[in-house]
Amino acid sequence: MSVNKSEFDRQTALVTGGAQGIGRGIAETLASYGCTVVINDIQQARLEETAAELTDVRGDVVGLEADVSDPEEVEVLFDEIEDRFGGLDVLVNNAAIIDPAEYDEISHEGWRRVLSVNLDGVHHCCSIGAPLIAGSGGGSIINVSSIAGKRISVLAGAHYTTSKWGVIGLTKHVAEEYGPRDVRVNAICPGPIETDTMSGLNTSDRHQSVDKGDIPLRQMGDPSDIGRAVIALSSNLMSFVTGTTLVVDGGYTIR
């Protein structure tokens, strides 16, 4: 049994951090299934470029600038989505920043910045997005955590790991509270995915690198792998799945 593309027709999806990397891959996959996709980022020029490129190839993609760490900007973002599209069906909280700093080098400001985007940002979007989805007749929230939410990261610092563990805990709470309102909430933990960010971390001498030989499937993942996981969790095939965490890592965390 496969996902029926027609179930995503006329649906609206928001992907935060959707202008590049994993977020772009998720947005492109959702658009290919017929969703109207809103991508969010903090850089307007990059947003406009990505939205135009994806619209040319995949369909209707709109870029809206907002900093998810700022609750007032998040409120404006969701108000505009409701005004323009009438509601929301799928929310993908993907926006995140990563910092490879060692624990004793993390400043208070550095700690707060990572947590404010990676965890507070998910909370801000869920707190407004969940009731909006419920009011639209129900739907799905996907929170992008990381394998660092399941184990200590080999590529990033303690603040990143802490934020990604927090995303999984938040996912479970929102899933429990919004289940009766037909909103399913799940998390995805990407493993080694081929992105510019991953390449930069792999060439750093601060942390252990990851190569294909470390992965049982002997290949790095692609952003589209996370996009397909989002489709699966958002589809009717997973209508009885909520509050869970899906690891997409080629078997990397088996060891």
Active site residue 160: yes
What's the 3-state SS for the chain?
CCCCHHHHCCCEEEEECCCCHHHHHHHHHHHHCCCEEEEEECCHHHHHHHHHHHHHHCCCEEEEECCCCCHHHHHHHHHHHHHHHCCCCEEEECCCCCCCCCHHHCCHHHHHHHHHHHHHHHHHHHHHHHHHHHHCCCEEEEEECCHHHCCCCCCCCHHHHHHHHHHHHHHHHHHHHHHHHCEEEEEEEECCECCHHHHHHHCCCCCCCCCHHHCCCCCCECHHHHHHHHHHHHCHHHCCCCCCEEEECCCHHHC
Active-site hit among 33, 103, 160, 178: 160
As annotated, the active-site residues are 160
